[in-house]
Structure 1
Amino acid sequence: MRERPAEVLVVLPTYNERETLPAAVAGVRAHLPDADILVIDDGSPDGTGRIADELALGLDGLFVHHRGAKLGLGTAYVLGFRWAIAEGYRVVVEMDADGSHLPADLPRLVAAARAHRGVAIGARWVPGGRIVGWPWYRRWVSRTGTRVARIALRSRLRDLTSGFRAIDARCVVHLDLDAVDSQGYAFQVETAWTFERLGLPIVEVPITFVERVDGRSKMSLGIVLEALGNVLRWGWRLRFGGR
């Protein structure tokens, strides 16, 4: 057992990540040895939840929450945020379990969140940030989506869609988690924009994003349409009124 409670909680949502989850957990523990890890599995049919339970048996500070169905990335992070607040963590980290987010970047993100007492976004589209393994059309889609979101929401952030973040828990309590309505990747845009509108400190830290080598991407047409629809809806309300 540890001599003192962990201050950092790394949240790893999973769905069919049996090939990549063990390495992700090992990477977090190697680069943030004092952090706790919360795996939230959406009833993965490939046995990811069982593997997470096996890892937790031999690793102090690894917790597993099982959900009976695929409920979406956004709802998983809302659950993780509530967990972090209830348990008194000082920093909560959003991280993919598919190997695309490098654990080596974790110390810089957590240090930035602590130093600024705010939100540290692991950014790809800033000087020093880069993507490894994406073809040109995926880069174009990502850059175009980011530009649309920035224009629609009048945001100054360079990587609104990044899902690799460290957040001071004092910022999380300012979110109305009951009002978050994005289930998929639009959650990243919604929360980043909300933090920005609240005037909370935000810093974008350059990271290296690596295309996954195992498993399948969870991106789908429905997720893309949800993100586009929400961004346009929020942009409309921003300009013409509404909550």
Structure 2
Amino acid sequence: MPPKPADSPRSPRTADRALALPDTWAATPLTVVMPTYNEAGNLPGMADALMGLQLAGLRLLVVDDSSPDGTGDIAEEYARRFGADRIGVLHRAGKEGLGRAYAAGMSRAVAEGARYVLQMDADGSHPVAKVPQMLGVALATGAGVTIGSRYVQGGTLSDAWGAHRRLLSRWANAYAGTILGTRVRDITGGFNLWREDTLRAIDLASVDSAGYSFQVEMKYRALRRGHGIVEVPIHFEDRTVGESKMNLMVQLESVAMPWKLRARAR
């Protein structure tokens, strides 16, 4: 059995604040797609927390890029523990970028019958307790995309984020939003719930972004195809285990992508 994380402030647990949905809504087929690369220290806590939610229709799909630290093996142990109907594992040959991993996992989820697909990082930065609320908002509003947003009223950032990082994140959202002419407050955010027909309309196979600009491209494509977006405030935590996957090439792609998307739209 995989190791269970200690009960600490960092452990991503299901909180009492998690919204209780009506049974029919809680049974909605929802797949959480979680890309991993060297997340052995984080995955057990995230998987336990998600499996503890009162969402009968929830399934976790781990997309592992051949992690050297054995994250893929831990995911397989969890799949055996909870059953293939609750946890699945998609093994990829190696690192091809976060965007590619998400596209592969989301395509698999839609093919396997998910009505909604949730993007979620494995590092604990996205609050598990917000998942039922995001699903409830999506079902109540009919939105094509429901964003767990850091930058709408009520959204907050980890105290571990310094002034420089906060300013950079705000600038990135303003930069992409201004170039693309959108009013989405957290267009760069990665905690996003997608309706299945919205993903089909976007055509995941044609998405260009390999890195974090995937978040911007996907939301922009959804808007261009007439699918509504709503934002739900969240508290965004900072990872304490493992390392960020952001590098210079990923940053450069993120700077260039809004201009590419604008040019194509014209």
TM-score with structure 1 length normalisation?
0.93
| Partners of 1:119 and 1:167 within 8 A in 2 | yes
Indicate if the aligned counterparts of 1:114 and 1:168 stay in contact, CA closer than 8 A.
no
Counterpart pick for 2:44 among 16, 19, 22: 22
C-alpha distance in 1, partners of 2:126/2:52?
A: 14
Mark the runs of 5 or more structure 1 residues left unpaired by the alignment: none
| One-letter code aligned to 1:30 | G
State the aligned residue count.
236
1:142 aligns with 2:169: yes
Residue in 1 that maps onto 2:17: none
Q: Residue in 1 aligned with 2:82?
A: 59
Q: Which AA in structure 2 matches 1:20?
A: N
Deviation digits for residues 107-162 of structure 1, max 9, x if unmatched?
Answer: 11111122222210011011000111211111111100110001110111000011
| Per-residue deviation, 1:32 | 4.7
TM-score normalised by the chain length of structure 2:
0.85
Residue 228 of structure 1: CA displacement? 0.6
Residue 129 of structure 1 pairs with residue 158 of structure 2: no
Assess, with a 3 A threshold, how the Cα gap between structure 1 residues 198 and 6 changes in structure 2: closer, same or farther. Answer: closer
Larger mean CA deviation between 31-40 and 159-168 belongs to 31-40
2:195 aligned with 1:204 = no
Task: Give the match for residue 160 of structure 1.
Answer: 187
What secondary structure is seen at the aligned counterpart in 2 of 1:45? coil
The answer to whether the 8 Å contact 2:55/2:132 transfers is: no
Contact 1:91 1:167 in 2 (8 A): yes
Give the equivalent residue in structure 2 for 1:233: 260
Q: Which amino acid aligns with 2:73?
A: R
**1:198-233 CA distance string (max 9 Å, x none):** 121210110110001111111111111011111122
SS at match of 1:122: strand
- Residue number in structure 2 paired with 1:100: 125
CA shift, 1:169, in A, is: 0.9
- Aligned twin of 2:215: 188
Using the alignment, how far apart are the partners of 1:32 and 1:202 within structure 2?
25
Check conservation: 1:123, 1:159, Cα contact below 8 A: yes
Alpha-carbon offset, residue 6 of structure 1 = 6.4
Query: Cα 1:89–1:237, aligned 2, differ >3 Å: closer, same or farther?
Result: closer
1:42 maps to which of 65, 68, 77: 65
Identity %: 43
Letter of the structure 1 residue corresponding to residue 65 of structure 2: D
Q: Which residue of 2 aligns with 1:83?
A: 108
CA shift digits 1:139-198 (9 cap, x unpaired):
111100110001110111000011001111121111122220001110000001111111
| Cα displacement string for residues 53-107 of structure 1 (whole angstroms, at most 9, x for unaligned residues) | 1111101211011111001111111112211221111111100000101101111
RMSD between superposed Cα atoms in Å: 1.5
Runs of 4+ with deviation above 4 angstroms: none
Letter in 2 for 1:186: S
